[in-house]
Amino acid sequence: MSDEPQLAQVELLQTIIDHSDDGIVVVDERGFVLEWNRKQSAITGLPREAAVGRAIWDVQLGLAPPGRNTAANLATARQFTLNLLSSGKVPDVPGMLEQIIQRADGTQRIIQTQSVPVPTTRGYMLVGTVRDVTELKQLEAELRRSEVRYRALFEQANDAIMLENERDEIIDANQRAADLLGYTRAELLALHVSDLQAPEVRGRSGKVVADELARHNGRPFEALDLHRDGHRVPVEITETRLSGPDAGLVLTIVRDTTERKRAEQAVRENEEQFRLAFQAAATGKALVGTNGRFLRVNPALCQMLDYTEEELLARTFNDVTHPADVAIGQDYFRRVMAGELDSVSFEKRYLRRDGTLIWVIVSSSLIRDAQGQPGHFISEMQDISERKHAELELRDSEDRYRQLFELESDALFLIDNVTGQIIEANSAATALYGYTHDELLKLCNTDLSAEPERTRQAMAEQHQLILTRWHRRHDGTIFPVEITARHLVWRGRQVHIAAIRDITERQRAEQALQTRNRDLAELIAELRTRNEDLDAFAHTVAHDLKNPLHLVIGFAETLVDAGTELTADEQAAALSNMARNARKMNNIIDELLLLAEVRKTQVVLRPLDMSRVLADAQQRLTDMIVDNQAQIILPATWPVVVGHAPWVEEVWVNYMSNAIKYGGQPPRVEVGADLLADNMVRLWVRDNGQGLPPEVHARLFTPFTRLDQIRARGHGLGLSIVRRIVEKMGGKVGVQSGEPGRGCLFYFTLSQLD
């Protein structure tokens, strides 16, 4: 018998296997998978190409659920298969073998398997049938638990299901069973099992179920059922005795094997289908001898190469191969012949009759004879010229893109949005960061960032413009950059192009401008302060000095004009008023001088003996204290602060004099200190006066605001000078006044000695 009919039978068998309703696996004499049909892939989730050519025990181990995929189980499965292949004896076990598999997606399926040894000249091959019974097993479990659920699953099953007893009575049947045999369900329930058997195979009435149970012991068996219209329906039957409450009943599952029988018959008889499939294929197909000569070609290949069938059969595949690609095909076929590869798929160039070039993908498998000797190749050739031309155009486009990429003065990066991996970088990027091109392609964008978390967030949120980000060069230098990003899909990947610009010089210019602006602001503040001082001076001269000066002049003129007419007491009173107003003008002048001194004098702050400073202040206020019968309460100890003693004395004099003037009758003046945070000390004076409303607190330390705007005495420089003094020493001033009649607390802060 020639190889060609054998080949046709193999191809036809392949077609039938692929269309079988059951999973089918064919294992050669060595235990390696020869066939793995589409149903088998659907059941296991393992594609054909991942199974064919592998040892069946390795494939089985890969499908084992966790805990079962052990080395011991692998060894057991291997030995079991090898024993079966060498002896051809199937273990005498009831029914099909049942097991659980786990697919790559993590789902588990229950399958039933049955292996049939097929003798060959070198031993035995195995033809295995695999059936996914997951749903069936679930159905059986549900039947035991709930009649309602049993009915739902019973009706939804793909197979015909009947519930019988051993007297051949049909107790129940699903709609699939009625449809399969052409009856209504009511009609089917009125029949006996023997009524459904074809006459030529009909068993003893009333004994069919019992005999089948005894003969097959739960294993699937084939039978011919009788359709209502009289035609025979080939079926596969599995009978199971029920237990528990349903003991005595038999669950019968009937699977229509009509299509499978037809497929098997087609494998055995219909070589013509192979010829038609070969001839009608849209891609080029050929049978090629081990010497490279075409043995058979289809019309698609003839049309692809512009040769007649006769012309191609007179040639070898090297005759139509581009000379530069001949070695590629020869190397692949040599490796297949040597057994290194079972099949090959590669790209090469063919030459048509007129010399034009086409690109093809060649896929070839070696068919060996019964003795394992190389017979011929089955090859498929697919024209991919259009794709190749598109790839060349894309390559040209990428070359143009590369030129533009490199010409850009900014650092450019092509970055994967998911991983941050740098896919490409231009020469400006290598110059900016100090890495080589190859080093950059091994990094992620976060490796260049001094703020990696912010970089990840910006990439996840697909920011398009980042005005300032801090990056790190290869040498560790940190520098500011501006980033512009464009997000796109490139070769199926979510990426973005980042244009990065060094803005160090720009920031320096901005910082220099900010420095100049700050200097200008300080100068403006200084000018404003000086203007305030000038205003204070002018106001004081115009108002505070003018009033006592008028009094001095008035009393002096009185003494000159009417001195002889005044009594001695009147003259003494006039002179006393002149002296008092002169002292007042002197105090105002002293305050103006002190205000000017504070503004322009730079002093060294030193630790203060606060008890001594307060003693000097009290000495200056002796007359005022005695005249007002004031009570001064001092603390026993003082925290050591730093300041300028004359200025601090002036603050105490101002605060204490105000407390005496505006306190209660008699005045009670309490002096103290509190420790604050940040190494500061609050020094304070509390009076027993009427207090001040909150709305006037903010105006007390500004020029010309007088306490006597509430109680009419004094002039407006004292608290303003206090504020200037304290701020010059690094502290702050303030006032606290609560409920009316509870007095005021004036305070200032100084730094504590470290």
DSSP string, 443-463: SBGGGGBSSHHHHHHHHHTT-
pLDDT digits (tens, 9 = 90+) for 680-711: 999 999 999 988 877 777 667 765 444 444 33
Is the CATH code 2.40.30.200 the one for domain 135-256? no
> What strand order describes the sheet that includes 221-226?
170-173, 160-165, 249-256, 232-241, 221-226
Q: Tell me what pLDDT residue 578 has.
A: 76
Helix, strand, coil share (%) of the chain residues, nearest 5:
45, 25, 25
The hierarchical CATH code for the domain 602-751 is 3.30.565.10
At 628, list the tokens: 């007002």
The hierarchical CATH code for the domain 390-502 is 3.30.450.20
Whether the Cβ atoms of residue 698 and residue 660 lie closer than 8 Å to each other: no
> Which has more pLDDT, 521 or 453?
453
pLDDT digits (tens, 9 = 90+) for 101-146: 999 899 999 998 888 899 988 889 999 899 988 888 887 776 566 5
Average of per-residue pLDDT across 601-611: 87
Question: Domain 281-383 is of which CATH architecture?
Answer: 2-Layer Sandwich (3.30)
Matching CATH topology for 390-502 and 503-601? no
Collect contacts of 109-118 with beta carbons under 8 A, ≥24 apart.
109/43, 109/44, 109/134, 110/134, 110/137, 111/23, 111/43, 114/220, 115/84, 115/90, 116/90, 117/84, 117/85, 117/88, 117/89, 117/90
Class of domain 503-601: mainly alpha
CATH superfamily of 22-132: PAS domain (3.30.450.20)
User: Quick one: DSSP state of residue 134?
Assistant: H
Q: Tell me what pLDDT residue 716 has.
A: 47
pLDDT digits (tens, 9 = 90+) for 303-336: 999 999 999 999 998 999 999 999 988 888 888 8
Average of per-residue pLDDT across 32-48: 92
Whether the Cβ atoms of residue 194 and residue 205 lie closer than 8 Å to each other: yes
- Could you give the CA distance from residue 720 to residue 705 in angstroms, rounded to a whole number? 8
- Could you give the CA distance from residue 430 to residue 406 in angstroms, rounded to a whole number? 11
Domains of the chain, by residue range, sit at: 22-132, 135-256, 281-383, 390-502, 503-601, 602-751
Q: Which amino acid is at 595?
A: L
Residue 584 neighbours by CB under 8 Å, 6+ apart? 548
Cis bond upstream, residue 199 (ω within 30) = no
Res 635 pLDDT > 80: yes
